[in-house]
Amino acid sequence: MKNKVTEQYKIVGNFNLRGVLHSFNINKIDWNNWCFSQMQFPLIARILELGCGTGYFWGKNIYKLKSEWNITLSNFSKVMLESSQEKLEQNGINITYKVINAQDIPYEV
């Protein structure tokens, strides 16, 4: 199973195809915007996302991000991480990108 997942996410297009499924919902509010609105971040926050995919979630909420936040986006797939970085760097938000396996998180709590 691990090899199949790794192979699946070597190509950004495969991940994007999964995202197309969300376009068939009937909700009036976009899921990414709704999900972000459910989170309560302090003014100064350290945020780590494990498995950021192509960064679509952050891209949809880019105007809500605060400069005081220290955001690290991670993925085990370097290709996904590079796609996130390309998409989000255009908006001038300071985000750190790291290849991280969610089973071996290199940070203390």
Q: Of 30-44, 66-80, 89-103, which range is least confident?
A: 89-103
- In this structure, what token pair is assigned to residue 98? 């790291």
Give the architecture (CATH level 2) of 2-99: 3-Layer(aba) Sandwich (3.40)
- Whether 86 shows a pLDDT value over 80: the answer reads yes
> What pLDDT is recorded for position 16?
60
Span 35-67, pLDDT tens digits: 999 999 999 999 999 999 989 999 999 999 998
Average pLDDT, the chain: 84
At 91, is the pLDDT very low, low, confident or very high (cuts 50, 70, 90)?
A: confident
Q: Structural domain boundaries of the chain?
A: 2-99
Rounded CA-CA distance 107/98 in Å is 12
pLDDT at 8: 62
